[in-house]
Copies of this chain bind each other. A is one copy, B any other.
Amino acid sequence: MTETELKKRMANAIRALAMDAVEKAKSGHPGMPMGMADVATVLFTRFVKYDVHAPHWPDRDRFILSAGHGSMLLYSVLNLLGSDVVSMEEIQRFRQLHSKTPGHPENFDTIGVETTTGPLGQGLAMSVGFALAERMLAAEFGNDIVDHHTYVIAGDGCLMEGVSHEAIDLAGHLKLNKLIVLWDDNRITIDGHTDLATSIDQVARFKASGWNAEHVDGFDQEAVAAAIERARKSDKPSMIACRTIIGYGAPTKADSHASHGSALGATEIAGAREKLGWPYAPFEIPEDVAGGWHEAGRQWVGAREAWEKRLAALDHDKKAEFKRRFDRILPGNFEAAMEAYKRGLSDSKPKVASRKSSEMALDMLATVVPELVGGSADLTGSNLTRGKSQQPLTPDDYSGRYIHYGIREFGMSAAMNGIALHGGFLPYGGTFLVFSDYARPAIRLSALMRAHVVYVMTHDSIGLGEDGPTHQPVEHLAALRAIPNLLVFRPADAVEVAEAWQIALESTNHPSLLALSRQNLPTLRVEHSVVNKTAKGAYLIDGPAKADVTIFATGSEVAIAVDAKAKIEAAGRTARIVSVPCFELFEQQDEAYKAETIGDSPVKVAIEAAIRQGWDRFIGTDGIFIGMSTFGASAPIEALYPYFGITADAAADAALAKLTSNV
């Protein structure tokens, strides 16, 4: 058998595993793996620098299956390369509870899967972050230590989704020439032929965005390899449009959406076996094919060992720093620096917007935590996300640690996920809180993947004023708190901002989101506390342990609560204030702490310039809520808070009236 014939058979192994696993599960997507099997074979036998037994090797190439529904392509390749995790048993447990082969690739479940994909376009958008992390890391540690490619397989859905535009515009601008995207140009989507919904010239589109782009026959392995070689030599990112046939090999369902998203059925599979010349039993891999794949799986051992020698030859500090960064351990002086900074705040008592105190924290953090990579979706001067020491990253200089992401909230967030998953960096990025909606699909993936990223969302309420309801978040705090695993902070003053940043940086297992004010806020935590009180999620910030009224508040409304408390006391009643910077962390406390913090005041009030949803947890269904129930309005802040009834008077009056009526 010639090498070419063997490679074809190796591709057919992917096709067979894909159709057999989907058939066994009676669920899944055989069409894409069958169409792209040759491309995958070329990639993994010739290009993707990946030692299957050292899957965490920092300098490995990253492979991202943006068309995540084709998960069986990735599982098949991992299995054939010799993965310890994706065994043939796991292939046979495709899409079953607790298998390593879930319906869509999940990086948190399966070693060898670089990122979670399925929500279309996001794999491609994350790949920009992966490729950027590689360049940034190389700028810091040198090309001897960091020199790898990011390969992506993307489908029609990925390229139709809007986020693809944000991603390719950014990647083209940043000249990420080690990013190579292979587009499965099969001209079929779920509804039918792509000409039902698109007429775009993708190659021209990518070229317009500063990419290298070309067409190739996706079944001609030599042509695919030659295109990849050209891409690797380009000074631009590359897109290779691989013309394929979905469900290739299936006698009646190939080239049809019928092969996209369901099991082919026994007859069709038998026909495909015949057509492909694959007489083997389900899940059986013949020896020659297994041998070819195992050889591919071993081909990078030498390269990895050479790399390890190069790493070992680095000077001690640099080596330690590289290791620290990939171990995701903060610098040794982080805690002390944080403590000193926090102490300074309690002393100086700044009255600044929380976006401003976030900037103050970042000025310090950017000098202490070199893995921090900041950015904003074109709102740097509003989000105040750039630390003084941070220089802009440019296409000509990847040593900058501040990224002008452009007006691309979703693309930014997906890129941050990619940067975080790549390793070596801790990305944060800003936009207005209301535009968390634009970024939401990526925020959800951050949470699902437990990616260590920090969202800096400013202008967090009607307090932003004149820009009006299109820019005023009302439902966003509730909607973000709804996402599992995401830490949503709404700090009340500069100290809570510092504490929130500390938690965000220490939480390697959670993404965090800081909701910050446009308007100035007084420092309430005027006595320094070594303990990070924000870490409790909610805590008594002012007043006695027991009182007639407990007022719960967050962010800019805690200062309103302080005024309300004074009014309640002036009326001869007692009040206590609980600051609630993070609902999620509060729920993680023990029952005794939670009960004590919520307390047993006969009247409970919550103040938040947002909707009530979620607050019954603190105030009960009969509690008083001072906040929003509609969209906001365009007017100065001084007019808006009274108009919507979010005032200390309103809170105090309602509490006092209820106290009286209770009696």
Q: A438 and B161: CB pair below 8 A?
A: yes
A396 to chain B, nearest CB (A): 12
Q: Cβ of A434: which chain B residues have Cβ within 8 Å of it?
A: 119
State which residues 391-418 of A face B: CB under 8 Å: 392, 395, 404-408, 410-411
Within the complex, which residue of B99, B163, B633 is in contact with A102, where a contact is CB–CB below 8 Å? B633
Q: A468 and B634: CB pair below 8 A?
A: no
Known: A614-B614, A635-B95, A635-B96. A190 touches B160 (CB 8 A): no
A381 contacts chain B at the CB level, 8 A cutoff: yes
A329 contacts chain B at the CB level, 8 A cutoff: no
Q: Cβ of A103: which chain B residues have Cβ within 8 Å of it?
A: 466-468, 470-471, 634
Q: B448 and A478: CB pair below 8 A?
A: no
A574 contacts chain B at the CB level, 8 A cutoff: no
Q: Interface stretch among A134-142, A193-201, A224-232, A421-429?
A: A193-201
State which residues 363-415 of A face B: CB under 8 Å: 376, 378-382, 392, 395, 404-408, 410-411
A59 to chain B, nearest CB (A): 28
A499 contacts chain B at the CB level, 8 A cutoff: no
Q: Interface stretch among A36-44, A203-211, A528-536?
A: A203-211
Known: A198-B169, A467-B118. A404 touches B191 (CB 8 A): yes
Q: A470 and B438: CB pair below 8 A?
A: no
A412 to chain B, nearest CB (A): 10
Q: Cβ of A474: which chain B residues have Cβ within 8 Å of it?
A: 484
Q: Cβ of A95: which chain B residues have Cβ within 8 Å of it?
A: 466, 468, 634-636
Within the complex, which residue of B28, B197, B485 is in contact with A173, where a contact is CB–CB below 8 Å? B197
A162 contacts chain B at the CB level, 8 A cutoff: yes
A157 contacts chain B at the CB level, 8 A cutoff: yes
Q: Cβ of A172: which chain B residues have Cβ within 8 Å of it?
A: 199-200
Q: Cβ of A102: which chain B residues have Cβ within 8 Å of it?
A: 468-469, 633-634
A479 contacts chain B at the CB level, 8 A cutoff: yes
Q: Cβ of A621: which chain B residues have Cβ within 8 Å of it?
A: 616-617, 620-621
Q: Cβ of A117: which chain B residues have Cβ within 8 Å of it?
A: 470
Binary per-residue interface labels of chain A (620-663) against chain B in the complex, 1 for a CB within 8 Å, 0 otherwise: 11000000011101111001100100000000000000000000
A113 to chain B, nearest CB (A): 12
A272 to chain B, nearest CB (A): 22
A406 to chain B, nearest CB (A): 3
Q: Cβ of A478: which chain B residues have Cβ within 8 Å of it?
A: 478-479, 482, 613
Q: B392 and A466: CB pair below 8 A?
A: no
Q: B482 and A613: CB pair below 8 A?
A: yes
A548 to chain B, nearest CB (A): 20
Known: A466-B103, A469-B106. A631 touches B197 (CB 8 A): no
A292 contacts chain B at the CB level, 8 A cutoff: no
Known: A200-B173, A200-B209. A466 touches B27 (CB 8 A): yes
A120 contacts chain B at the CB level, 8 A cutoff: yes
Q: Cβ of A198: which chain B residues have Cβ within 8 Å of it?
A: 169-170, 173, 406
A282 contacts chain B at the CB level, 8 A cutoff: no
Q: A633 and B467: CB pair below 8 A?
A: no
Known: A378-B191, A379-B190, A466-B28. A408 touches B162 (CB 8 A): yes
A466 to chain B, nearest CB (A): 4
Q: A630's closest neighbor in chain B, by CB? A: B484
A554 contacts chain B at the CB level, 8 A cutoff: no
Q: Cβ of A98: which chain B residues have Cβ within 8 Å of it?
A: 633, 635
Q: B470 and A104: CB pair below 8 A?
A: yes
CA A22 to CA B70, docked complex, whole Å: 53
State which residues 186-245 of A face B: CB under 8 Å: 189-192, 196-202, 204-205, 207-210
Q: Cβ of A633: which chain B residues have Cβ within 8 Å of it?
A: 97-98, 102
A490 contacts chain B at the CB level, 8 A cutoff: no
Q: A470's closest neighbor in chain B, by CB? A: B118
26 interchain pairs (CB within 8 A)?
Answer: A27-B465, A95-B634, A95-B636, A97-B633, A99-B634, A102-B634, A104-B470, A106-B470, A116-B470, A119-B434, A119-B470, A160-B407, A162-B410, A169-B199, A169-B200, A190-B378, A190-B379, A190-B380, A190-B382, A200-B210, A201-B209, A208-B208, A478-B613, A479-B482, A484-B630, A484-B631
Interface contacts beyond A96-B635, A103-B470, A192-B404: sample of 14 additional A-B pairs, CB < 8 Å, sorted by A? A97-B640, A103-B634, A104-B634, A106-B634, A120-B407, A156-B407, A157-B407, A161-B166, A172-B199, A173-B197, A190-B379, A202-B208, A437-B441, A484-B630
